[in-house]
């Protein structure tokens, strides 16, 4: 048994990076709307430490708006090549402006421009409209750095529950559950498959 689920996650992520053919950092993010209706989509893990799991998105997107109204979220990593998954639940909070700026600066120029050109999750009449908007944004920023848009943010899921699932023969799977205690420490237990 491990005392720190974040250290165990780091070990599992390292193994996934060595074996997964595509996007070992891909994770499903679940949010809910005002009526409790869930919505799940894939996002990319862009940072992880003892404070939580970081991803970036448009705060005006469906997920951004849902998180603004209900900060609870859930993540799921599924590494098929390893026959493992990690389920994470907790509260989602924005990262600092400095963190968001620093990460935005590492993105490709076209990705930076796309963050300005896209009204993420809003209806789009046709693809040509978006492509024209992208080209106009590109021309507008010609010869200068692309700043982070005010609506483009990073979010950190601060975990209070992390489950590590491993496939075993005959569906006798192994499930290890870590939960945060009142004093901030982690307790670990097992779940029936």
Please state, in angstroms and as integers, the Cα–Cα distance from residue 58 to each residue in 29, 43, 142, 192, following that order.
14, 12, 23, 38
Active site residue 69: no
Q: Which of 37, 127, 144, 171 is catalytic?
A: 171
Q: Are 68 and 6 in contact (CB under 8 A)?
A: no
DSSP track, 90-143: EEEEEPPHHHHHHHHHHS-HHHHHHHHH--TTS--S-HHHHHHHHHHHHHHTTT
Residue 100, both tokens: 């968001």
By annotation, the residues acting in catalysis are 171
């Amino acid at each position: 048994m491990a005392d720190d689920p974040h250290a165990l996650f780091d070990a599992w992520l390292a193994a996934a990076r060595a074996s997964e053919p595509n996007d070992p950092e891909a994770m499903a993010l679940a949010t809910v709307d005002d009526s409790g209706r869930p919505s799940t989509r894939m996002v990319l893990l862009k940072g992880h430490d003892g404070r939580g799991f970081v991803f970036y998105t448009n705060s005006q997107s469906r997920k951004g708006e849902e998180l603004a109204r209900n900060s609870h979220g859930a993540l799921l990593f599924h590494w098929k090549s390893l026959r493992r998954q990690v389920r994470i639940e907790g509260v989602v909070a924005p990262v600092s402006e400095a963190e968001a700026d620093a990460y935005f600066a590492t993105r490709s120029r076209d990705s930076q421009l796309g963050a300005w050109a896209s009204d993420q999750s809003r209806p789009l009449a046709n693809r040509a409209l978006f492509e024209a908007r992208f080209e106009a944004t590109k021309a507008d920023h010609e010869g200068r750095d692309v700043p982070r848009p005010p609506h483009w943010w990073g979010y950190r899921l601060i975990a209070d529950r992390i489950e590590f699932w491993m496939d075993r023969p005959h569906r006798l799977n192994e499930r290890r559950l870590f939960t945060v205690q009142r004093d901030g420490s982690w307790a670990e237990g097992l779940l029936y498959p």
